[in-house]
Structures are given as C-alpha cells and as structure tokens.
Amino acid sequence: MIRSLCAFFACAILLVISGAFFYPRWQKWGNEAQLSWDAGGYYWYLPAVFIYKDVKQQHFRDSIMQRYQPTPPNDFQYAFRYEGSDNLVIRYTMGTALLEAPWFFIAHAIAKPMGYPADGFAPPYQFMIWLGGILFAILGLWYLRRLLLQYYSDSVTAIVLLLLVAGTNYLNYAGIDTGMTHGWLFTLYVLILHSTDRYYRTLQRKYILRTGALIGLAALVRPPEIISVLIPLLWGMDRISVAAIRERLMLFKRQIRHIVPAALICLLILSLQFCYWQYASGRWFIYTYQEQGFSWLKPHLKLYALNYQCGWLLYTPLMFFALAGLVPFLRSGRNRLALLSLVLVNYYIVAAWDAWDYGGRAMIQNYPALLFPLASLVAYLQKRKISRIIGVLLLLPAVWFNLWWTYQAHRGTLIGSAPATRAYYFATIFRFRAPEEIQKLRDNEDLYRKPIQHPVQLYANSCDTFPDGHIMVEKDLQQILNFSQQGKKYKWIRASADVHIGQKEWNVWFMTHFMIRLKKGNDVIQANSLRVQRFLKEGETRNITVDLRVKYDVYDNIELVYYNENNGILPCSFDNITVTGFDK
C-alpha cells in the first residue's frame, strides 16, 4: 500500500501549496478574498446568527459590504427580500455554513486577541475557512484511497489520486477556492460511498446511520444532492431485473430497523433549512434562485460539456479519460448501476439549469463516482507496455493542461474574464503570453492580423454633431449609427474609433460593446462586437478596431452599435469613427 500512501501525501502537499503559497486567497481582499462572491453567501448564515443575531433584517450587511466588498459595490447578492415579507432571505442553503461552523468558532475566538475585529470577515475568519476546507478535502482523499483499494490495486489507486488532484479542477476547489461548495461536497460523496460500501459488507447499523446523516448534509449544502440516495439504494446492483429488484427489496425489508432511523436522521438534518425559511419568510419552502430555472425538456447537454466559454470537458480534459474508462468499467467494474445512475442523473440536473455557463465545477461532487471508470481505464492500460506508453502520452498533456489552466486562472494574463470562443481557446492553449490583440477573440472569432491591402473607406464620422463632439454611451443609452451599402461587398469589414473611459469597468458583464451589424432591411444578417474596456486603462483614450468576416453578402446597410451590457453604469465615449472594407 506504499504507493497509494505516498500518492496521498503528495496530493495533500499539492493542495496545501496551491492554497497557501501559489494563490493564498485568504490573504486577498474584496472579491478575490476567500469569503467573496458565492463563498461569502454560503457562509453568510454564521455571522448573521452568531455575531449579529440578525438573520431576518441583516442590518449589518451594509457595513460588511462597504468594508470588505465581497461582491461589487451596490451588488448585494447574498439575500433578497421575499415577496409578502419584510425580511431578507438568504439565497443559499445552510449546509456549507454548517460544515464551516467549527472553523468559524475558532476564528471568532482568536480574532480579538490577535487584534482583529470579531466581525466575521476579518483575516482570521478568511484563513480558518480556507484551513477547514483544505483539511476536509484531505480527509476526503484519505477515505477515497481506502475506498479505491477495496476494488483496485495499490498502483492504480496511487495513479488515480494523482490524476484527480493534479489533472482536474478539483485542485482549484479543494486547495484554493475552499469556500465554495464543491470541495466539501466531494468529501461528503466519498464518505457516502465509503459508508455505503462498509454497510453492504458488514450490515452494521452504524454505517447506514452515518450514510443517512451524510446524505442529509449533502442535500443541505446543495438540494439536488438528494440524488445521493441512489448510492445506498443501488449499491451492489450491476443490472436491473425482476430478480435483482426483488432481492434488493427483501434486503431492505430485513434491514428496516436500520433504514428507518437513517432516513429520519436525513430528514431531521434537512428540516433545518425548512425551519429557517419558515422563520425568515413564513413559508416552509422557497425557491431562492428566483429567475434562474431549469429547462427539463431541453437540457443543455452539449453546451455544458463542450462550449468554449466554460465547457466542463474542454477545461478539464482529463475527464474525457474517465468517460473512456466506461468501456472497461461496464465490462468488469463493480457497483455499476449505482455509480452510473448517480453520474447521469446529476449531469442531467446540471445541464438542465438555465445558468449552465457557470462552468464544470458542478461535476466535482461526482468525481468520486467517475474515478471508478478512470481507475478501470488505468488498470486496463497497465496490462501491456505499449498501452502504458500510450496512456502516459495521452494523460500527461491533460494533467499539464489543468496545471496551466489553474495558473492562468489566478496568476496568468490569458484568461481574464469570460466569455471565450473556439478561436481564442486554440490561440492561447498552453501559452503563457500572447499579443494583446488576441484578446479580441474572446468576444468573437473574426480577427484579421495580416497587413491590409487596398482598404476602401465605407464610412467616416468625426462625431462633431453629437453633444460634446463625441458619442457618449451611458447606463441605459444605446447609440446606433447606420449607413447604406449598395456597392461592392468586401470579404472583411473593419470599424475603428477613438475610445475613452474615465473609470474602468472590471466586470465583464457590464462592459461597453462596440458592434458591427450587417442588415438587410430590418433583419440582422451578421454581427460582431467586442468589449472595449478589455483594452483600456483608467482615463485612457485609444483607437480600437473590431473586425467582421462577411459570410453573407446580401446585406444592404451597415450599423454600428454602442451600448453598456446589462445597463452597466460607467460611461464610455467614441470619436473619429471609420468603417473600411477590404478583401485581404
């Protein structure tokens, strides 16, 4: 067992290095801090209940938001005023806060003696939440090792542990972004799998009671994780048949004295959330994500995995090998029905959510199940020398991609803010530096980089007729310039303008768009745009161009559109606008 033990310690060290030295988020401030964005929302229960004792009105929120700025100014996301109630309701369920509670209490005890305010967000709280998250992750790796050793060899287990930590986005969420739910859920799933496995091996009551409690906790962290009940229901079943179902029902009947208390423990834990909703709003159940719903009949199955903005498989390519491992796993793996049912149901739920473009992190809690097919693939590749060589040649680039991507996400210059395109993905993959103009590919795939020959000016406007001599784009003011184009149709069209900003907008979803649109009558034939603040420093004026490769030459007029996305509030001005056409 020495190889897997060494791999476990190597993985633990890598997690600690990533969060303590490479990118210590607990030392950051504002929306880069450990308790920022969603992580601050999951945690919000703890200061609300135990420090300020104000979970209904949350009068402390303004002072916390002003002092620590865990989300952008004037963008409080952690709670909302529920209809028919004067109280605020926390958007997130309380499971993560419950898991973080021991570390919160330690931080609260040491904050004042260390000279920090005991306000819930000072440095001791940031550090302890990181520490608690990473220790919980290491606990999960320990039990994952023990679980895998029940089914695979020591060397296969060692390789799978190293591939998980070095080769997937688990590294980020277990080592750096430990305030998010995904590292905690990964460990909970490992413990559910381990407890379930121990129960079916021994039929000891303590293991099924533990499983019930863990399922309740997982669902309290993220309600869809109630699907983890599939694990104890189906564990040990490798096919669906009348005989298999009858045998399983008979087992449940014999063990009813174990199953009922386990189910009650699960429900008791879940009831904490319902009691909070009742206390805060007078309703026993609230769908707290409000406008974000699910497309159950049209899930975004392909988009979630393969879109170039944040596709799970494109940005965690090692999981392609876990999927490839389904072939040997389906042939000879154990517990196939439980593990594959869990993965498929979870993927359907994740892909059905209309906010699918938040990335592949929602699959991390399913990695404990997906590691079984990956382990089956590794075991298969180990059988022959040539397959071992092929495996190394294929797996190492996937691991390197994850390490490169993790670096870029936190300390690099090529990622920046979403979205991205296919062209940008392949123009930057494995690179650490690229020309600035490559950033234009983040918004569209058209960028002419060669010297232009024989350009023809199609339009020019010095903007002298506009107030103050330029086009001003503000919060809810969209500007449009248009002109007819009846002559020759060129293969490329380029619009340029002198663009000026005062205060820089850093949030990509509020930036100013500079857009070209080709129209035939009132119909838009083609459009390209870019976000100009990507290329401007505060107070800077700069000439910016946007290109469009003409695919359909049936247009009869060209429009230039300027607007702030999502009613972004920071103004931006355009001057000396020109449009040129060229073929090469």
Beta carbons of 375 and 152 less than 8 angstroms apart: yes
DSSP state of 11: H
Give the residue ranges of DSSP H helices in 353-452.
367-381, 385-410, 422-428
For the chain, how many residues are written?
584
Give the integer Cα–Cα distance in Å for 460 and 417: 32
- 524, containing H or E segment: strand 523-531
Give the integer Cα–Cα distance in Å for 23 and 27: 9
Give the integer Cα–Cα distance in Å for 96 and 39: 9
Q: Which two tokens stand for residue 257?
A: 């004295």
Beta carbons of 202 and 258 less than 8 angstroms apart: no
Question: Which residue type, as a one-letter code, is found at position 406?
Answer: T
Beta carbons of 398 and 318 less than 8 angstroms apart: yes
Q: How far is CA 474 from CA 514, 543, 575, in A?
A: 13, 19, 15
Domains for the chain: give ranges and CATH numbers: 2-362+370-379+386-407 (no CATH), 456-582 (2.60.120.260)
pLDDT, tens digit (0-9, with 9 covering 90-100), for 339-362: 999 999 999 999 999 988 888 999
Beta carbons of 499 and 540 less than 8 angstroms apart: no
What is the phi-psi region of residue 107: left when phi exceeds 0, alpha when psi lies from -120 to 50, beta otherwise? alpha
SS3 assignment, position 194: helix
**Per-residue model confidence as pLDDT tens for the chain (584 residues):** 899 999 999 999 999 999 999 999 999 999 899 999 999 999 999 999 999 999 999 999 999 999 999 998 777 989 999 886 789 999 999 999 999 999 999 999 999 999 999 999 999 999 999 999 999 999 999 999 999 999 999 999 999 999 999 999 999 999 999 999 999 999 999 999 999 999 999 999 999 999 999 999 999 999 999 999 999 999 999 888 899 999 999 999 999 999 999 999 999 999 999 999 999 998 999 988 877 789 999 999 999 999 998 899 999 999 999 999 999 999 999 999 999 999 999 999 999 999 888 889 999 999 999 999 999 999 999 999 999 999 999 999 999 999 999 999 999 888 766 668 999 999 999 999 888 889 899 999 999 999 998 899 999 988 887 887 788 998 877 888 888 888 888 999 999 999 999 999 888 888 999 999 999 999 999 999 999 999 999 999 999 999 999 998 899 999 999 999 888 889 999 999 999 999 98
Q: How far is CA 105 from CA 93, 102, 161, in A?
A: 20, 5, 32
Kind of pairing, strands 479-484 and 523-531?
Answer: unpaired
CA atoms within 13 A on the CB side of 349: 16
Beta carbons of 187 and 195 less than 8 angstroms apart: no
